[in-house]
Structures are given as structure tokens and as C-alpha cells.
Structure 1
Amino acid sequence: MMTATQTVSIKDVQEASHLIHEVGRVTPLIQSMFLSRTVTHGDVYLKLENMQLTGSFKFRGAYNKIRHLSDAEKARGVITASAGNHAQGVALTAHLLDIDATVVMPKTAPLAKQQATSGYGAKVVLAGDTFDESRAFMEQKAKEDGLTIVDPYNDPLVIAGQGSIGLEILDQLWDVDTVIVPVGGGGLITGIATVLKHFNPYIHIVGVQSENVHGMTASLQAGKLTRQCTGPTLADGTAVAMPGDITFGLAEELVDEMVLVSEEEIAEAMKDLLQRTKTVAEGAGALPTAALEAHKIAPQWLVGKKVVALVSGGNVDLERVADNIDHFFKSDPTGHFIG
């Protein structure tokens, strides 16, 4: 019987990394003195995937998947469903490879992500109020128009593409102890975990989700695919109510723990990343920092350890940034700003 980890091999990830780095970036790994000295009493490093092409890690998986399509599949054109980051990854890849792309996005998708996706040349279709509704529309349209689906997470080639981050982390910090990753559908954390556990099974891998939408956490707790969504979240890039069967199987084998953070904790992490580390992070990209600041991870995995917290993306509307600043910094009567 095939185990989940056999669906994506280290060789698959190494091949994906080679392809991705034809055009993609090796993103920086920087130490955050604020998170290291003030919050964790360990050495915390931020892996800045907000500096990847399209401003998100999603370019990696999209590029690897589309590069592996047959000529016939490319000729038919590709389609995907995405809240925004995978959309941009597919759109830019399609532009680079001269392929027609259609992207189905929720009506609530941030305007910045809609504009960026169409700016890369993709046809943007707004359908559904949630990612899951957009996905259902995408599947029907793909069938009707004969388009090739580029799944945002539940695909071995996409997972292998995201796993290239794991190879970079080991190149940049070979003796890392703990890695903290945002989780939506699970493609990112399972790709990274495939690499890290292959080279060092003792690396502690933590997934972080919003209290409002945490399908992967609910599924792992139930031991089966389970839907969970109680409301909208600032972490719209990870607002996936239920993971895929491939990512769920991999996460069961490879992920050590999952933690949840509140909307207020996400907002505060976005603010602190901007103020203290000069890093623009969207809600999903701030999840690992939120988990650290809210002390959701046991000290044994942090104190005196080398920790990597992934900033998965920085595609956030400026209006949302302004709202967040206004929320945390109210002007007092003397004209000074107070936190």
C-alpha cells in the first residue's frame, strides 16, 4: 500500500526547484531581532516569500505544474480557482509560457489581487462568495470549455514546487530546529515538510491557521477530511474550509502540530511585521508571527532554538494596511501615537 509521502518524493522537489529557479527567486532568510530577543528567546528567522515573483510562494507550485503540462494541455489553456496568490502565480506563468489562462476568484477577493492577476494577462472571473464556491464554478467551467485545471494545492506537482522552499531553508540554515508555516489547503506545509523530514526527521514542523477557517486542523483532529468555516478571516489566502485528500494524507504523516490564532492576533502580527521588521505581510503571511507573539507554540520548540517563520506572501490591499494601522495606532489628544 502506497503511503502519502510516496506521492511526492525528494527527487520531485529537486526537479521542481531546478525548473523554478530558471525564472524564480531564491528568497531571503533574515533574522528578526524583535521576535528572537523579545518574543521567543531563540533565534527566529523570517523566510521572505513575499519577495518571490508575484509577491507570494504560490508562483513556485503554479510554475512547476504548468511546465509539466503536455503541449495539448497547454494549447487548451489553463484554469484555476484562487483567492489571489495562486491566481497570480498561474497568470504570470501563463504569460511567461504564452498560454491562455482563466482565473476564478471569489467576489470578496482583495482588489489588489484581482488587478495584479488581470495585469499579468489572465482572464479574471468573479464567482462565489467563498473559495469553495469559486472552486466548484471553476470545475464546471473547465469541463464545459475543455480547460486544464491547475489545482491550487491538491496536486503532487504543485506540492513539489512549494517544497523548493524547504531546500532553500536548509541551504540557508542547515541546522534549523523548528519551522512554522501558514496552512490553507496544505500544499505549502506538506511540500516543505517533505523536504525537511527527509533530511532531518527531528525538525519540528508547526502549521498555523485562523480560528475562523481551519479545515486542515479540523481534519487532522477528526482523522478524516472535515469542513470548517465560521466566518471571514484576514488570512484570506488560507481561507480553505477543507483540504485535499493528497495534502491531508501528507500532513497526517509529516506535520507535528497545528495551532490556531484569532483575527486580532493576525492583525497585530501584520502591524508588528511592518513596524518592527519593515516587512509587508498579508494576513496569511503573518500567521506564523501571530502564533509566536500569542505564545501558541511551546517554549521547548523555541527557547534556544533556530526557528524559521515563513512570511508566505505580501499581497495586501493598501486600504487594509491603513485600516490596520488606524486600529492599533490611535492619535491621542497631544498628537502623539499610542499603541
Structure 2
Amino acid sequence: MNNNYRLVKSCLLATLVLMTMPVQAIEVITTIKPIQLIALSITKGTKEPQMLLPAHSSPHDYQMRPSDMQKLQKADLVFWVGPSLERFLSNVQETSPESTNWIELQALFESEATQSQIKTTENSDEMEHASEHQQDHNHEGMDPHIWLSPIHAGIIARKIAATLIESDPESTQTYSDNLAEFLKQLQKQDLSLKKQLSEIKDSGYYVFHDAYGYFERHYGLHHLGAFTLSPDRKPGAKRLQNIREQLESSDVRCVFTEPQFKPSMVRAITEGLKVNTQELDPLATSIALHANGYFMFLQQLADSYVACLKK
């Protein structure tokens, strides 16, 4: 009798311990920082998502390290843009644990439902320019810089929240509340940036690589050209000479560099010309890891455009 009592008591105690133990937080990894910043807004109050790529690294030419593989092996959720941006991950999924859920965000924008949603928020002019810009990226498929559109950011945030709720239903209310707050702030900031950027809509400029199409179309900016479509494909001497001639003959107010790549090429082309230069950072390198980080990132982009084009 005593032995049975002890056995039952031990089982009850073990069950109580298991019930009172905190549920292990899910491990979330994003490949690049802008996606991490959106995820940080949604996970506020829970475990912070980690980023795969180190600061100042570009996904266009990144090489995987053993420590990266270890991170991915431990992840429950991996949010990545897709193979057109993070080519180094194309074969990694095949060796990752079955328990790891890979979410390709670019695939969201290839569906008819999402395209219909975007069309209802953009006017016909912007959609026409979007189609023209898309043709420039057809050699590699869809423009992968999806995080640079406020509209896309809202769709990405909804997907992240839905995936987290499915994986961690106990925190559903937290994710839902955070998503609502993110979308509300995104709409408010979008209106503010439209007003700020309207002052420089007619000022022409060149960018280092053709990454900013979604941002530029959304705010109606006057993009004149890019040094290269993709930074892992350096322009040849003939292309650079053509750019130099365009900078000399056209109304170009600014040429933008990027912190992920040495500005020596841009400096050489613009030497002796009355053209301003400024840094644009599409990967939010200097932005603090904060629940409002994505909004700080959009503001930094807008400020960079204004600073160079109003000089």
C-alpha cells in the first residue's frame, strides 16, 4: 500500500512539474536584417528572432560558414526571401531537419491573390511602372528586394504572424496584438514619408545597384539608372563609360553608394562632375535591433534620398 502510494505521489509530482515548466520558445531565424526587423515587431514580448547573415554582408555574394549551418540546424522557423536573393541557401533545405519550417517570402508575391491585394492599394500608374521595372529583372525572375515596399512589408508581417501563431499558439494574442500595432504604425509612417519625399520627386539620380524599385515606385521617385542590376555582376568598362556620359549630359543630382560595397567605382565615375553622392543602405546595417527598427529603416532611406537630392 505504501509503495503504491509513493508511486502515485511521484507520478503526480512529475506531472505537476511538467505542467509548470515554461514552454520552450521557438527558434526563429531570418536571413537578412530588414526581415528580422519586421519579425522583431511581431515577436515583441517573446523570444527575439536571430539573423543569419553578419552585419555588412550582402546576400548576393554570401558564402555559408559552419556556424551558419549550426544555427539553421537548431531553427524551428527560417524566414528567407528566396533563391533569387539567397542563392547560397538553395541546397541547404535538403539537409536541414524535417522539423524546420522554411518560409519563402518571395513566393507570397507570386500568387494571384497577393498581386490582386497589391493592385487595390497602388494606383494604375504605379502598377504600369512596376511592370516595366519587372522586365528589367526578368533575367533573374522577380525583383527580390521585396522588403523595400511598405505594402509588401505589411504582407510579410501578416505571414510572419500567421506562421508564429501556428507554431506557438499559446502566444497568439501577443502576435495578433503586435501585428495590429505594426500595421497601424506602418500606415501612419507611409503617409508621413509620402509628404517628405514629395519635395524631391522631380530630382534625378543613379543608384549603385537596381534594388530600390519597390520603394521608388511607391513614392514616385525619379530613378534614372543603376551601375549594375546585381552587385555580384560588375559592370564592364563600356558600361561605365556610358554611365559617365549620361551623368555628364543628363540632369543627375545624386549618385548613391551602398555600405556593403566599396564606393571606389562610383568615385571614379563621378570624379570632376557636379554630382552629389550619398549612401543608401538597403540592408539596414546601422539600424538598432528594436521593435520599431523597420520604421527607423524606412525613415533612414527617406532621409538619405532627401539629404542628397535637396543639396
- TM-score w.r.t. the length of structure 2 is 0.31
TM-score of the superposed pair, with normalisation by structure 1: 0.29
Which has the higher Rg, Structure 1 or Structure 2? Answer: 2
